[in-house]
Structure 1
Amino acid sequence: MRLLREAYKFLVEKLDVDAVVLVDGGTDILMRGDEYGLGTPEEDMASLAAVYGLEGLAEKLVVSVGFGVDAYHGVNHSLVLENLAALEREGAYLGALSIPRDSREGALYLDAVAYAQSAVPEHPSIVNGSIAAAVRGDFGNVRFTPRTANSELFINPLMAMYFAVDLDALARRSLYLDRLEGTTLMRQISSVIEVFRGEVTKVRMPRQYPH
């Protein structure tokens, strides 16, 4: 994380940046740490901690796209909604938007995903493939790669929505982000998270979305 912050700092100063937007393909960046499942948080938390420690930026935002994708890594999305509601109470939830399929942005995104899939047909991104399928209007157990052959997907319009939150407020809600200070390697971050999880005495259990 320390080296990542230095890299961000260099870019901010070199390019005279006044805003940073972290985009997570999925929702695990929105986890506090006491949820039953955290997904795959290492890279997300490294970036969140790195940018949280930067000074002099006018805007720092986190955008989550691909609602539901992380269910296959243990994230419960009722808890994601609970976390967004808590951010709303703090004035830190900034709303949601979707990119229409026939917009220029939507068309360019679909083209980019198709190009990436053709470049690495043996290992296409499941996250981007799911989001692209949702942008196209696909629904349910959509197949776009053999990598998901043993899973039942639930492609739906929520996957194509962007949820935006204030980065600093999100970072302050994390229960372990401060422990990442001083880490350098990804395995160190994994170890920090593992130790923290072993200390959690009250886990927020998964709940079924009622509607």
Structure 2
Amino acid sequence: MFSLSEPPLLTRLKTAERILIAGAGGGFDVYAGLPIAFALRAAGKQVHLANLSFSHLYGLPADVWLAPELAEIRPDTASAEPYFPERTLARWLDLHGQPGTVWAFGSVGVQPLRAAYRALAEHLAVDAILLVDGGTDILMRGDEAGLGTPEEDMASLAAVAGMPEIPLRLVACLGFGIDSYHGVNHSLALENLAALDRADGYLGAFSIPRDSREGALYLDAVAHAQAAFPEHPSIVHGSVAAALRGQFGDVRFTERTRYSSLFINPLMTLYFAATVEALAANHLYLDRLEQTYLMRQIGSAIEEFRDELPVRRPPRMFPH
């Protein structure tokens, strides 16, 4: 039973003791889970952080590998890779007295990714997994006009959907509206959330309070990452952070967006949450990814599915 006094996502997560929060789509996605991680740790839960990595992991030292496609990244992990969000986050966590480990998954297909998730779940004895997405393209079921950048998100969703041994598996999205740059129509995202609600798989929406410990730490972590990667900061989290500070409209925080028109707004600070089971059941091509081993196989499977569609759901204008 849920209550208006607490977001259903947190109500569900508080039934677990050891929680893995994992960035589903690579890059800086794990940062989307930081406010939730801070809240759960304050509630006495063991929280571990992981991310599907865009970095080249194969040159890492041998002692960081727990299993194939699964590396333990610490603040002092040696790497020549200039783009390494997992290590940057580990360093920020260490600076703030938080456990300084971020687990990195290789960017691979469903079978090896699930094996890596299983190895980590067994190693940490987790009883809950929360996939977090910066943006909303993980909510796309496959027949929409645009899917965003779905390959990594779908690899993570399919991997965790095939792990029924984990009692609690959830998804949370942060950054509503940001994926419009990649073709996501957010009226269709809302339609998908309504379908999840009818299937009893929607866990509501809630925002990050700026004047909270979780909000302040999130803003600090994003600023730290922006300083670490001044040439390639996260547009997703830069947008969420700008919205969290009360900025609005075409806000400039990086030269990467100089040719784009942004619409920073308070909806970007909202989490939308669902169960993995409902999200997977509502999906139209997830089963086609089951036997993939490489990320490019996922891309090919998605293209093949899209080519077979007799019609795609057209974009809808948000009427308000």
- What TM-score results when the alignment is normalised by the length of structure 1? 0.99
Q: Does 1:60 align with 2:172?
A: no
> 1:127-162 CA deviation, whole Å, 9 max, x = no partner?
110111111111100000000011100000110000
Pick from 280, 289, 309 the counterpart of residue 180 of structure 1. Answer: 289
Q: Does 1:170 align with 2:170?
A: no
CA RMSD of aligned residues (A): 0.6
Measured in 1, the distance between the counterparts of 2:233 and 2:222 equals: 9
Q: Does 1:208 align with 2:317?
A: yes
How far off is 1:6 after superposition?
Answer: 0.4
How far off is 1:57 after superposition?
Answer: 1.3
Query: 1:189 corresponds to which residue?
Result: 298
Structure 2 counterparts to residues 88-99 of structure 1, below 5 A: 88-99=197-208
Letter in 2 for 1:187: R
Measured in 2, the distance between the counterparts of 1:110 and 1:121 equals: 16
Between structures 1 and 2, the one with greater helix share: 1
Q: Does 1:19 align with 2:109?
A: no
How far off is 1:14 after superposition?
Answer: 1.0
Measured in 2, the distance between the counterparts of 1:181 and 1:87 equals: 22
Pick from 178, 192, 203 the counterpart of residue 69 of structure 1. Answer: 178
Measured in 2, the distance between the counterparts of 1:193 and 1:133 equals: 33
How far off is 1:113 after superposition?
Answer: 0.4
Query: 2:101 corresponds to which residue?
Result: none
Query: 1:149 corresponds to which residue?
Result: 258
Query: 2:222 corresponds to which residue?
Result: 113
SS of match in other structure, 1:183: coil
Letter in 1 for 2:136: T
SS of match in other structure, 2:172: strand
SS of match in other structure, 1:164: strand
Query: 2:143 corresponds to which residue?
Result: 34
Query: Unpaired runs of 5+ in structure 2?
Result: 1-109
Pick from 107, 115, 124 the counterpart of residue 6 of structure 1. Answer: 115
Report the structure number with the largest CA radius of gyration.
2
Query: 2:152 corresponds to which residue?
Result: 43
How far off is 1:55 after superposition?
Answer: 2.3
Query: 1:86 corresponds to which residue?
Result: 195
Measured in 1, the distance between the counterparts of 2:159 and 2:253 equals: 34
Letter in 1 for 2:306: R
Measured in 2, the distance between the counterparts of 1:122 and 1:15 equals: 35
How far off is 1:183 after superposition?
Answer: 0.8
SS of match in other structure, 1:143: coil
Which runs of at least 4 in structure 1 moved beyond 2 Å after TM superposition? Answer: none
SS of match in other structure, 1:44: helix
Letter in 1 for 2:126: V
Q: Does 1:129 align with 2:256?
A: no
Measured in 1, the distance between the counterparts of 2:164 and 2:316 equals: 38
Query: 2:33 corresponds to which residue?
Result: none
Aligned length: 211
How far off is 1:199 after superposition?
Answer: 0.4
SS of match in other structure, 2:272: strand
- What TM-score results when the alignment is normalised by the length of structure 2? 0.65
SS of match in other structure, 2:263: coil
Measured in 1, the distance between the counterparts of 2:117 and 2:164 equals: 11
Letter in 2 for 1:174: H
SS of match in other structure, 1:159: helix
Identity %: 69
